[in-house]
A and B are shown apart, each in its own frame.
Chain A
Amino acid sequence: MKTFQIKKNYFNAGLPSQIIKCSLLSAAIFLASGCSSLGVQPWERDLLAKEEMALTSSPIDSALDDHIYFSKEASSGGKGFGGGGCGCN
């Protein structure tokens, strides 16, 4: 039963993760190589400059959410550091 369990997890972790990693890496490389044609002029930043267009528009909400999910799930970080910080996990 246990052997089967381990194999199942490896299968889970194997194929989809490779596909996801490859596609995200390709997307990143594509964007990095094509980035000089992307973007805006400084005078076109009216919308991007708005508070709600910041990548983290509510830092306190994000920090509170990170704390909740860090203590309730096996994953953390990704957007920012997912390090220690409390004995809640």
Chain B
Amino acid sequence: MQLTHKKAPINIKAALTIATSALLGTLPVIANAADDTMTPAKAQQESSWDFESAFLYYSESDRVSAAEAVISAQKTLENEAVLNLKLTIDSLTGASATGAAAQPNVQTFTRPSGKGSYQTQAGKTPLDDTFKDTRVQLNAQWTQPLAEKYTGSAGVHISKEYDYLSLGVNGNLAYDFNNKNSTFSVGLSYFQDTFEPEGGIPLAFASMPLAYDNDDDEYSIDEGGEDETVNSAGKTAFNATRRTDSDNKTTADIMFGFTQVINRRMITQFNYSYSKVDGYLNDPFKMLSLVNSEGIAQDYLYENRPNSRVKQSVFAQTKYHFEQNVIDISYRYMWDDWAIDSHTIDSRLRIPLSGQSYIEPHIRFYQQSAADFYQPFLAQSNAIPGFASADYRIGEMSAYTLGVKYGMKLSDGNDLSFRLEYYRQDPKNSGYQAPGALAEVELYESVEAIIAQVSYSF
């Protein structure tokens, strides 16, 4: 694709510089920069824009795959202010676990839209294969020295996909002291998200309705009034399980950071983050199987999560420069009021192969406990709880990533790198006894994914 097109990188850069300047011409801050009509040659001369681009492909075996392209442009202005603009486009297709449990028989599920249904084979984890979305994200970040020892930064974020809109702002203030060997920082961020899912927002614990308009029957629908009546009644029944068309959530974060240079070879960082999420925190596509004492599903109920969550985390990172190699180790501990806590260890070792290239192995371990309302299914013999979700992503789980990156400096001074990683999630049973048929099926299926990335800086 054009992001890694090597034949004419200068022309790409010139074109992008013009595009970026033209875009910014609408912003009052640096409107002057776009006053002149720039020719490519002129843009090249005047340009101090640096571009970074990447293309990433993520693919799970039998489930979701995603392609993501990023281009980031950065310019340092006269007063040492730095402007960064970033465009991200991603596209998602494939199947995602619905939360329903595998069964010894074939299961039929209504698509989220209510139009049509799909089947899951015996013994298989139910996956909704209708996932398809394209997302466009724009970020702008302005960073500049405010006074001696103080640096300020502010940014905006907008992300739009078919059924989701996210708007965000952030601000950060950093204070350097001890000969710039120590830095304290405080940052704030606020997001406002609107979710308008296909088929609307289901009522908590509503039964999955029947499909009312099967796409496969497209031609027969128009034939007579009978089908239309059935469809109309079906649609009314479907709508009775819906609460509203769209809902919101807000995320407010505060983060305190401390960075310390230890010596010529070593630097460390510590962060504390507090995050409060309010609003609609359910996943409208997720449900739970309601099973009898034999473990056979009698119904499927939409999940229900609390409408607020407070997350906190501490994060520590160290980088050490050996004679040649650079090691990067970080650890994060996160806990929240859903009783989830998690440990993450991330480590990279950059090994120069020559003056112009390096190889960087990467290893990451992750482990989380389950949310207190997580359960892999609902039992008919028990009362329906206040909150419940069978989403494995808030269940007990461990995961690891193994990867390697190879990077090189090209003869024209630009950077090219390749990254290949393997990611595996192993959901765990956190103490639930599976009755009857559920004991015979896999309730905690592992997920494997491959991540491949190409990056080019110019």
- Please list 21 pairs of residues, one from A and one from B, whose beta carbons are closer than 8 Å in the complex, sorted by A's number: A2-B382, A17-B335, A20-B333, A24-B314, A38-B261, A40-B261, A52-B350, A55-B267, A60-B54, A61-B54, A61-B455, A72-B447, A74-B340, A75-B334, A81-B170, A81-B189, A85-B191, A86-B159, A86-B161, A87-B166, A89-B283
A36 to B371, CA, bound (A): 42
Contact B319 A9 (CB under 8 A): no
Tell me the smallest distance from the CB of B40 to a CB of chain A, in Å.
Answer: 25
Q: Does B275 contact A (CB under 8 A)?
A: yes
Interface contact B317-A86, CB-CB below 8 Å: no
Known: A5-B430, A21-B314. A86 touches B135 (CB 8 A): yes
Q: Which of A32, A40, A50, A63 contacts B70 (CB 8 A)?
A: A63
CB neighbours (8 Å) of B133 from chain A are 87
Given pairs A40-B264, A84-B191, 4 additional interface contacts (CB within 8 A): A5-B431, A85-B137, A85-B157, A85-B166
* Number of residues on chain B facing chain A (CB within 8 A): 103
CB within 8 A of A74: which of B90, B187, B259, B342?
B342
Closest-CB distance, A80 to chain B (whole angstroms): 8
- Residue from the list B164, B263, B269, B368 in contact with A55, Cβ < 8 A: B269
Interface string of A43-56 (1 = CB under 8 A from B): 01111101011010
Contact present for A72 and B393 (CB under 8 Å) = yes
Q: Could you tell me if A75 and B339 are in contact, using CB atoms closer than 8 angstroms?
A: no
B258 touches A (CB below 8 Å): yes
Cβ contact within 8 Å between A82 and B350: no
Tell whether, in the assembled complex, residue A60 and residue B52 are in contact, meaning their CB atoms are under 8 Å apart.
Answer: yes
Q: Which residues of B contact A31 (CB under 8 A)?
A: 258, 260, 268, 270
In the complex, whether B321 has a CB less than 8 A from a CB of chain A is yes
Contact B366 A73 (CB under 8 A): yes
6-44 of chain A: CB within 8 A of chain B: 6, 8-10, 12-13, 16-17, 20-21, 24, 27-28, 31-32, 35-36, 38-42, 44
Contact assessment for B72 and A59 in the assembled complex, using a CB-CB cutoff below 8 Å: yes
| Contacting residues, chain B, for A2 (C-beta < 8 A) | 375, 382, 385
Q: Are A82 and B269 in contact (CB-based, < 8 A)?
A: no
Is there contact, CB below 8 Å, between B179 and A41? yes
Q: Are B195 and A47 in contact (CB under 8 A)?
A: no
B451 on the A face (CB < 8 A): yes
- Interface window among B144-152, B248-256, B290-298: B248-256
Q: How many Å lie between the Cα of A48 and that of B265 in the bound state?
A: 7
Where the two chains meet, the residues of B that have a C-beta atom closer than 8 Å to any C-beta of A are 52-54, 56, 58, 68, 70, 72, 86, 88, 90, 92, 133, 135, 137, 157, 159, 161, 163-164, 166, 168, 170, 178-182, 187, 189-191, 193, 195, 249, 251, 253, 255, 258-265, 267-271, 273, 275, 277, 283, 311, 313-317, 319, 321, 326, 328, 330, 332-336, 339-342, 344, 350, 358, 366, 368-372, 375, 382, 385, 393-394, 397, 399, 405, 419, 423, 425, 430-433, 447, 451, 453, 455
Are A5 and B372 also in contact (CB < 8 A) when A17-B335, A50-B321, A55-B259 are? yes
Chain B residues within an 8 Å CB radius of A20: 314, 333
- Interface range for A: 35 or more
Give the residues in chain A near B333, CB-CB below 8 Å. Answer: 17, 20-21, 24
Contact of A1 among B190, B370, B432 (CB under 8 A): B432
A22 to chain B, nearest CB (A): 11
Contact of A9 among B90, B135, B180, B339 (CB under 8 A): B339
Contact (A53, B137) CB under 8 Å given A9-B369, A24-B270, A74-B368: no
Query: When the two chains form their complex, are residues A78 and B341 in contact, meaning their CB atoms are under 8 A apart?
Result: no
B317 contacts A83, C-beta separation under 8 Å: no
Which of B262, B264, B419: most chain A Cβ within 10 A?
A: B264
Bound Cα distance A75, B394 (Å) = 9
* Contact of A68 with B58 at beta-carbon distance under 8 Å, contacts A73-B397, A74-B340, A83-B168 already known: yes
Q: Contact between B264 and A79 (Cβ–Cβ < 8 Å)?
A: no
| B411 shortest CB reach to chain A, Å | 18
Tell whether, in the assembled complex, residue A72 and residue B425 are in contact, meaning their CB atoms are under 8 Å apart: yes
